[in-house]
Amino acid sequence: MNQNNQSAEIIKKIQSSTRRGNLITYGIVLAAYIVMQSLVSTGHISSLLKGLLVPVCVYVIAAVSLNLVVGISGELSLGHAGFMCVGAYASSFFTNAYGDGLPNWFRLILAIIVGAAAAGLFGILIGVPVLRLKGDYLAIVTLAFGEIIKNLINVLYAGVDSNGIHISTKSAMDLNMGPDGKQIIKGALGISGTPRLSTFTAGVVLIIITLFIVQNLMNSRAGRAIMSTRDNRIAAESIGIPVTKYKLLAFAVSAALAGAAGVLYSHNLASLSTAKFDYNTSILVLVFVVLGGIGNIRGSIIAAVILTVLPEMLRGLSAYRMLIYAVILIAMMLFNWAPAAISWRERMMERLPFGRKKRTGEED
Amino acid sequence: MKKWTRLISVTAAAAMMASLVAPASVFADDVFVIGGIGPLTGGAAAYGTAVENGAKVAVEEINAAGGINGAQIDFRMEDDVHNQETSVNAYNTLKDQGMQVLLGTVTSAPCIAVLAEAINDNMFLLTPSGTAVEAIAGDNAFRVCFSDPNQGTKSAEYIGDHQLATKIGIIYKGDDPYSVGITENFTAEAPNHGLEIVSSEAFLGDSTDFGTQLNAAKNAGAEMIFLPIYYEPASLILKQAADMDYHPSYFGCDGLDGLLAIENFDTSLAEGVMLLTPFTPNAEDELTQKFVAAYKEANDGLVPIQFAADAYDGIYAIKAAMEDAGVTPDMSVSDICEALKVSMQNITLEGLTGTITWGADGEPNKEPKAVVITDGEYVPM
């Protein structure tokens, strides 16, 4: 009886500390939004930074959603850009084909729903065969699927006329559209002329929704089941947790959120092509996750912001900026994650008068 | 130690915030700031650097001769790594630096993305080399080079009219709008000039093995391979065809320009390669000779490619239009754009790439020219 009480108390403690951690994350996002928005409205912001606001939101959402697979479900996925690609194309097609005349915010919401649903569907389709693999094998297969998605879309031609949607994989001529037809996806040419619906506010709202979904999932019954399959698959299976089902859940939710990031991306640029969504982008998002700390949502956000803004801030160094960027990346990785650097940081923290006390093992 | 760390981190944070927030606000009233955007690093860097260098030659000449309407030009180039997103960032960076007119973007897909921003700001845009139709879809946008459809059609026309070959194999890059755009129009136009397309094979991404595509062309009996692609994969195709003892003739578009400048490339492989390009450094007219000499001097003896000539013509077109309109540096971006839009249609430019006039759609009117690579040099055909 006494033991039960104790463990109940410990659980309560952990729950309240994660809740506090979650609230801090929301707070950081909101504070950043208020600061940036007030800078924009008073005009004290450079055009460059103003232009970076939406891309930053895109990468934050992508990083948080990938963290769900890599950090929470413990699977290495290298095909995240593929899901962004699906979301971007599906939503751009939808926006260009339908929705003329509707208010912008409503068109964007519809686009996000379409993009996230399409990417989520692909997540399930790919997850069913892929999640039977583990570790490195899974990483390689997701990499391959990411490239397959990209190459499929590259040969896709699609248009819309009064008879509905026409799709071909050969050429624009094979669409056989009526005279009122409008060609939208032009194979390798991609989609151009998507109206610019993405705004910073929409991006931040989407980040908050993403955080809400991911953080609540982590602290739910399903989330604990997912984490148990990560920590010890055999033990989880032995107490009757359907491992594949829960891994698939995490994978599909992550894919849908990546799709939403893709929607935001495609509605921010007038020209969309698949070149952007190659494995380099998947790796870039993975770098955000690893640098921010695998399983650490707030870290993912901060890393995505810094690593998106940094290369643009280094423009003054012209050709050297790629080199400097790589050096800074290595230095940041070492500073954040080398054991010696971690213990040095903790010693420093203790010595600072306003510093935090040494951590007692809990993650923030 | 502790104090130092704190001091350093506070200073660094303050410096970062300052660099984030402060917009460049020192615009001189007596210079025209012309911005340029293009790939200066990455796979397409040869184009961007050529545009930068070519434009600089023109800018130096104009500044030495007294500038435009008495004002000097300040030309600033930013890198976009041939990526839409980075290109928009480069555009915003240039805007922060006070750009009034844009010479760019060098490559097509980024140009489409930047154009949307330029239309928003009503910024005058003249792309030296963005060939996609949509790259100049606004009435504020013009270009110096031919569009993709034009290049495909003109290539078929040129091959047919000069009876260079009848059986053609095409190797194109399936995920590149430039390559697909030319291929589609070439394929549509070829039958009109007695050309038969016996094989049409695509490759994707950064492929390095073209055995499949070359074998398909060889087995179909292609006498000529049409290469509407960039120079890097083209160099590999030339090498691999020679290795498999297959020696067709080659014809390409402006993307092949730059082939001879690839490091460690055996230029003897490129002997006889023909390409449609509006500029040859070996042309004997005075303008070309003067440009090539100035370009070589500024760039350690590097021979200019077509992109450099396009950029040179671009700067002079801007100058001619600005003089026609009588704009001054203290005018707003939008006012300059409104004036230049009209004046571009009034001017006739005797440029390196031909005698050019512009229509309201922004497309240039000029004659196509082709060159053949002979003894490691571009020779007019």
Instruction: Nearest by CB to A188, from B95, B117, B174: name it.
Output: B174
What residue of A is the nearest CA neighbor of B45?
A: A319
CA angle B1, B5, B9 (to 5 degrees): 170
Distances in Å between the alpha carbon of B102 and those of A7, B38, B236? 67, 11, 34
Flag if B23 and A154 touch (Cβ within 8 Å). no
Residue A15 included in any domain: no
pLDDT of A322 above 90? no
Could you tell me the pLDDT band of residue A364, with boundaries at 50, 70 and 90? very low
Q: Which two tokens stand for residue A82?
A: 């593929």
Q: Which residues of A touch B179 (CB under 8 A)?
A: 188
Predicted confidence at residue A177, as pLDDT, reads 79
Across the range A341-353, mean pLDDT stands at: 83
Q: Look over chain A and give the mean of its residue pLDDT values, rounded to a whole number.
A: 88
- Domain of A97 in residue numbering reads as 24-320
How, if at all, do strands A157-161 and A182-186 pair?
antiparallel
pLDDT band at A58 (very low <50, low <70, confident <90, very high): very high
Q: Report whether pLDDT(B19) > 70.
A: no
B260 or B57, which is more confident? Answer: B57
Pinpoint the residues of chain B covered by CATH 3.40.50.2300. 31-145+286-367, 149-277
Sign, CA torsion B320/B326/B328/B333? negative
pLDDT at residue number A18:
82
Q: Is residue A11 part of a domain?
A: no
Asked whether residue A48 carries a pLDDT value surpassing 50, the answer given is yes
Confidence of residue B25 (pLDDT cuts 50, 70, 90): very low
Stretch B109-133: mean pLDDT: 92
Average pLDDT over residues B87-91: 95
The edge-to-edge listing of strands for the beta sheet with B370-374 is B196-203, B167-173, B224-227, B249-252, B274-276, B370-374, B377-380
d(CA B146, CA B367): 10
Question: What pLDDT is stored for residue B370 in this prediction?
Answer: 85
Quick one: which of B77, B68, B100, B37 has its CA closest to B330? B100
Mean pLDDT of the residues in chain B: 87
- A50: distance to nearest CA of chain B, Å? 8
Among residues 112-131 of chain A, which lie with CB inside 8 Å of chain B? none
A3 and chain B: CB distance < 8 Å anywhere?
Answer: no
SS3 B225: strand
Count of structural domains, chain A: 1
pLDDT score of B5 more than 70: no
Q: How many CB atoms lie within 10 A of CB B256?
A: 28
The verdict on whether omega for the bond into residue B105 sits within 30 degrees of 0, i.e. cis, is yes
Residue with more model confidence, A10 or B52 = B52
Strands A191-192 and A271-272: antiparallel
Q: Does A287 touch chain B (CB under 8 A)?
A: no
Mutate to test the interface with B, among A174, A192, A322, A344 (most CBs of B within 10 A): A192
Closest CA to B181 of B143, B155, B213: B155
A291, part of any domain: yes
A172 part of a folded domain: yes
What is the per-residue pLDDT for A144? 93
End-to-end CA distance of chain A: 31
Compute the nearest-CA separation of B355 from chain A (Å): 31
Type and span of the H or E element at B56: helix B45-64
Cα–Cα distance for residue pair B21/B13, rounded to 1 Å:
12
Tell me the count of A-B CB pairs closer than 8 A: 112
Contact across the interface for A39 and B21, Cβ inside 8 Å = yes
Cβ–Cβ contact A148 with B under 8 A? no
Q: Percent of chain B scored above 70 by pLDDT?
A: 92
Q: Answer yes or no: do A47 and B174 touch at CB < 8 A.
A: no
Residue of A nearest to B114 (CA): A270
pLDDT tens, A88-127? 999 999 999 887 788 999 999 999 999 999 999 999 999 9
Categorize the per-residue pLDDT at B102 as very low, low, confident or very high, splitting at 50, 70 and 90.
very high
Q: Domain B31-145+286-367 is classified in which CATH homologous superfamily?
A: Response regulator (3.40.50.2300)
Residues of A within 8 A of B84 (CB-CB) are 269, 271-273, 276
pLDDT at A225 over 80: yes
Per-residue model confidence (pLDDT) at position B178: 81
Instruction: Read off the pLDDT of each residue in A206-213 and give the average, rounded to a whole number.
Output: 96
Residues of chain A with C-beta less than 8 angstroms from the C-beta of B110: 271
pLDDT at A86: 96
Check which CATH number belongs to the domain holding A90 and give it.
1.10.3470
Q: Taking CA A95 as the corner, what is the angle to CA B111 and CA A47, rounded to the nearest 5 degrees? A: 40
Predicted confidence at residue A306, as pLDDT, reads: 93
Does the distance separating the beta carbons of A322 and B95 come in below 8 Å? no
Confidence of residue B1 (pLDDT cuts 50, 70, 90): very low
B372: three-class secondary structure by DSSP: strand
Position B55 confidence tier, pLDDT thresholds 50, 70, 90: very high
Q: What is the pLDDT of residues A153-197, one digit of tens each?
A: 988 889 888 888 888 887 776 777 777 788 899 887 789 888 999
Say yes or no for a CB contact (<8 Å) between B184 and A309.
Answer: no
> How would residue B14 be classed by pLDDT, with cut points 50, 70 and 90?
low
Q: Round to whole Å and give the CA distance between B373 and B260.
A: 9
pLDDT of res. B2: 46
Q: Which of B96, B110, B175 sits opposite A48 (nearest CB)?
A: B96
Residue B48 has pLDDT above 60, yes or no: yes
Q: Which residue has the higher pLDDT, A87 or A183?
A: A87
pLDDT at A100: 79
The answer to whether A48 and A301 are in contact (CB under 8 A) is no
Residue numbers in B near A46 (CB within 8 A): 20-24, 92, 96
- CATH superfamily assigned to domain B149-277: Response regulator (3.40.50.2300)
Residues in chain A closer than 8 A to B20 (CB atoms):
46, 49, 309, 313
Q: How far from B264 is each of A263, A276, B232, B259, CA to CA, in Å?
A: 43, 29, 12, 11
Report the gap between the CA of A279 and the closest CA in chain B (Å).
Answer: 11
Q: Is there a domain that residue A248 lies in?
A: yes
B116 to chain A: nearest residue by CA?
Answer: A270
Structure-block tokens of residue B227: 């290469």
A47 to B112: CB separation less than 8 angstroms, yes or no: no
Render pLDDT for B271-328 as a digit per residue (tens, 0 to 9). Answer: 889 988 888 888 888 999 999 999 999 999 888 988 999 999 999 999 999 999 999 9
Subunit contact B109:A351, Cβ cutoff 8 A: no
pTM score of the predicted model: 0.84
Residue A325 lies in a domain: no
Spatial distance between the Cα atoms of B362 and B126, rounded to a whole number of angstroms: 9
The span from the CA of A116 to the CA of B33, in Å, is: 43
pLDDT for A2: 61
Which of A47, A155, A271 shows the shortest C-beta gap to B95? Answer: A47
**Residue B344 pLDDT > 60:** yes
Torsion angle of alpha carbons A201, A307, A310, A192, nearest 10°? -60
Q: Residues B128, B311: contact at Cβ < 8 Å?
A: yes
- Which chain A residues have a beta carbon less than 8 Å from that of B132? 189
Residue B28 confidence (pLDDT) = 60
List the single residue in B20, B93, B181 with the smallest CB-CB distance to A315. B93
Give the CA dihedral B212, B213, B216, B222, nearest 10 degrees: -150
